[in-house]
Amino acid sequence: MQKNALYKALGLTLGALLVAACSSTGEINEGEASATSTTTQATTSTETAANDASTTAVDTAAVAGEAMDSEMSQAEAALMEQTVFYFDFDQSTIKSDSKAALMAHAAYLAANGSARVVLEGHADERGTVEYNLALGERRGMAVRRFLLANGASASQLEVVSFGEERPVSMGHTEASWAKNRRVELKYQSK
Residues contributing to the site for other proteins (CB under 8 A): 90, 125-131, 133-135, 137-138, 140-141, 144, 159-163, 165-167, 170-172
Least separation in angstroms between residue 87's CB and other proteins is 14
CA distance 151 to 105: 9
Q: Which is nearer to other proteins, 86 or 162 (CB)?
A: 162
Cβ 90 to other proteins, closest distance in Å?
Answer: 6
CA 36 to chain centre: 36
By CB atoms closer than 10 A (0-12, 13-18, 19+), residue 69 is exposed
Our CB check for other proteins shows the closer of 76 and 184 to be 184
* Shortest distance (Å) from residue 96 CB to other proteins: 21
Residue 12 or 148: which CB sits closer to other proteins?
A: 148
Q: Which residue number, 37 or 176, has a Cβ lying nearer to other proteins?
A: 176
Q: Are 178 and 106 a contacting pair, CB within 8 Å? A: no
- Smallest separation (angstroms) from other proteins to the CB of 139: 9
